[in-house]
Structure 1
């Protein structure tokens, strides 16, 4: 398939997704919908806010009569009710392509809904049974998806999705290789209208991917990965990808905070997100407690990226205080990545930090605060009386078990939550 003039088109991961960038999103979407996928019956999932803008009008005009259905908005953290409604419409309308225009909740909803449609899981109970099945017993997705993201969440690159069972207010994970998008269209100009808090906090989420990736037990010599992933060269490749991601993200997010219309910075951030996801996926690198706890903060009303803003500093602190030499070495690598960039180091020094003594938790918290993002659980409306239940729910998340410092039970999760609640700046050295 030949790219259009001005378009950059490449394979991001094996086998999917491919990435298109360099031309307006609606032109790329029409080109690939018709010439790549041969689609005639396109179902669009658009965020409520974007649906009233000229950008959505441009997409509708481009796709024309090929659009056979539109879903206006998915509630935050993807309630199962929304998923089964979309899955039912995909079946009823005989859709042959899904296009999402918006942020991470739409991406996850499309993943789970297309999987549900392929497996006739069109009720809440059927969706619950689908989640419990072995991957080999699940029929693969048959309707391809094009994601046009307007945040830096990064979910468009992986075959995982989170959706919330509102009956118990718990977010559950769905995974199947076929759920990943076939194509991701990156258009920095489209994202200028994304609210600054959403854009910047989702950028911190990508930073969290890189930081917890760099600190992952994957890099331990005794981690027990497959033979292919045990080689030093493989680990070095993945480490470099995470560092490249931070090199793109950290200074560019600061630029966007001050100059929101700088398209080069936004493009760098979008490519930094791709680096963060490539690092995780190429080596099946597992993240830790910042993600594990963050998944359960979502159902309590905390925004997807804001969970990383408030949890990553506390998790880094807790891990440093209880970790071994491996943990200290990996956090030192994180520190080097932050201090390596002049604009970032100047900001950290202005925040009162010293390069020789500051810990990774302090550095991340200062950086997050400089973006104007929340840094404590209190900032995002979490009450102390909720912490016990939150700790219990977090223990059900698989990323708790892959934290670089083992977490034995809910009591230790609560220790981390207390650090995030108080936002104390004094840390063990």
Structure 2
């Protein structure tokens, strides 16, 4: 049930989770849903180190009060298994009945793996290894503890039931997947995102653009008119509004449209359309310490150029489709791209 002034709805019409919350400040939304939606009394918070030092975290603690039973300050980039097992064990001790993340990136992926680990009695790295996709362990239990994500970037991992996490013994990034993994509620607050460093906000936005472009350029049979709908709408919302945000950093309306663009892009991704070389190379660079958003900024143009020069007419035609979309006079009623 929505709070007064809040818009509360499913992110994807055909799925029961996640829901998204917009329209009211994130502390008010969190307090309302902790009590009225999840009926939780023991809240565990995973907060980024940088945000933990800000008034944003102070506000969240104030509204939740003595319902907070534990806090984890930061998960290192690319969700190292050591961090995830340590946090899993800490949450187990507190008896938490709800997890809130305040931040993005590794926190978002990390909590998906953590809830999966909690459901399957993980207490060591060896236990966690059994949950990885490549382990092919049968009869794994679905996550049970609900999650609220309050994201501070446009990385979009909160909309996916999969996650990547790095085995600290080998530096190999392994995949984790269960259809029940992921947030139950995502609270979107543009005002909160103003405090995100420009490099992170814009680069993660380009990561979402990368999803759209490589999705639209995919030659895989899974790609087609249905997946194109999400990628096209995502591109329409993301590109012009990222330009507007760069021009006017404090403007909140373009930020909210960018957040909606990430959801649209995810609709295409949820159809399992494979991504291309930009994503493939980027995933290899990630565990070496390069942010996925930054890899997209650098690699996407280069990969597109290579594919155009070496691809067949189908490849060129798909790229032209993206180019035509980017150069239309008007992308939506409120967003211009070629004239921003």
Matched, 1:9 2:8: yes
Structure 1 residues 159 and 341: alpha-carbon distance in aligned structure 2, compared to 1, 3 A threshold? farther
TM-score, structure 2 length as denominator? 0.94
Higher gyration radius (CA):
1
Match of 2:215 among 209, 213, 233: 213
The range that moved more, 315-324 or 292-301, is: 315-324
User: Aligned equivalents of 1:162 and 1:133: distance in 2?
Assistant: 14
User: Aligned equivalents of 2:229 and 2:268: distance in 1?
Assistant: 8
1:135, CA displacement in angstroms?
6.9
The SS at the match of 1:100 is: strand
1:204 corresponds to: 206
2:295 corresponds to: 307
Matched, 1:285 2:273: yes
1:136, CA displacement in angstroms?
5.1
The SS at the match of 1:193 is: coil
1:344, CA displacement in angstroms?
3.9
2:85 corresponds to: 84
The SS at the match of 2:180 is: helix
The SS at the match of 1:179 is: coil
1:45, CA displacement in angstroms?
0.4
The SS at the match of 1:178 is: coil
User: Aligned equivalents of 1:341 and 1:249: distance in 2?
Assistant: 16
The SS at the match of 1:252 is: helix
- The answer on whether the counterparts of 2:129 and 2:135 sit within 8 Å (CA) in structure 1 is no
- The answer on whether the counterparts of 1:80 and 1:164 sit within 8 Å (CA) in structure 2 is yes
User: Aligned equivalents of 1:15 and 1:297: distance in 2?
Assistant: 34
1:176 corresponds to: 178
**Deviations 1:347-374 (CA, angstroms, capped at 9, x unpaired):** 7xxxxxxxxxxxxxxxxxxxxxxxxxxx
2:284 corresponds to: 296
For residues 69-108 of structure 1, what are the structure 2 equivalents within 5 Å? 69-108=70-109
- The answer on whether the counterparts of 1:114 and 1:143 sit within 8 Å (CA) in structure 2 is yes
1:15, CA displacement in angstroms?
2.6
Unaligned runs of 5+ in 1: 230-234, 348-429
Matched, 1:323 2:311: yes
The SS at the match of 1:20 is: strand
Structure 1 residues 327 and 29: alpha-carbon distance in aligned structure 2, compared to 1, 3 A threshold? same
User: Aligned equivalents of 2:275 and 2:254: distance in 1?
Assistant: 26
1:346, CA displacement in angstroms?
5.0
User: Aligned equivalents of 1:135 and 1:146: distance in 2?
Assistant: 27
Structure 1 residues 346 and 314: alpha-carbon distance in aligned structure 2, compared to 1, 3 A threshold? same
The SS at the match of 2:175 is: strand
1:20, CA displacement in angstroms?
0.5
1:73, CA displacement in angstroms?
0.7
1:64, CA displacement in angstroms?
0.9
1:327, CA displacement in angstroms?
1.3
User: Aligned equivalents of 2:281 and 2:170: distance in 1?
Assistant: 16
For residues 325-364 of structure 1, what are the structure 2 equivalents within 5 Å? 325-341=313-329, 344-345=337-338
TM-score, structure 1 length as denominator? 0.75
**Deviations 1:211-238 (CA, angstroms, capped at 9, x unpaired):** 11111234xxxx2x5xxx9xxxxx4233
For residues 25-424 of structure 1, what are the structure 2 equivalents within 5 Å? 25-131=26-132, 132-134=134-136, 137-218=139-220, 223=221, 235-281=224-270, 283-341=271-329, 344-345=337-338
Unaligned runs of 5+ in 2: 331-335
More helix by share: 1
